[in-house]
């Protein structure tokens, strides 16, 4: 949430959390300026990679959907237990 507030230029940022059986779905959605992931200076901006590392440590996955002018969605899927099957 703080990265979205700091970098997105959004007028709205939503946190969505959903219980999906054995999984927890978490998404941060903004209506900001979006960005080109291939142009992120990972030496100086590592917030998204830290999120991915933390979620991976919990056996989860992170997807980032963004493009210039269209906002960004960071979606994480985290197992609540020992499940390895993704929800429908």
pLDDT per residue over 56-85, tens digit each? 999 999 999 998 888 999 999 999 986 455
Choose the CATH number for 2-76 among 3.30.300.30, 3.30.565.10, 3.40.50.1100, 3.10.20.90.
Answer: 3.30.565.10
Phi, psi (5° rounding) for residue 13?
-130, 125
Answer whether 38's CB lies under 8 Å from 68's CB: no
- Put simply, whether the predicted model's pTM sits higher than 0.95 gets the answer no
- Mean pLDDT score, 9-22: 93
Residue among 84, 22, 36 at smallest CA distance from 64: 36
């Amino acid at each position: 949430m703080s990265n979205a507030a700091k970098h997105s230029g959004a007028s709205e940022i939503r946190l969505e959390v959903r219980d999906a059986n054995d999984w927890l779905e978490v998404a941060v959605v903004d209506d900001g300026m979006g960005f080109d992931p291939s142009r992120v200076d990972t030496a100086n901006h590592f917030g998204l990679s830290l999120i991915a590392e933390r979620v991976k440590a919990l056996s989860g996955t992170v997807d980032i959907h963004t493009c210039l002018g269209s906002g960004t969605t960071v979606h994480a899927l985290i197992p609540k237990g020992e499940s390895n099957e993704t929800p429908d």
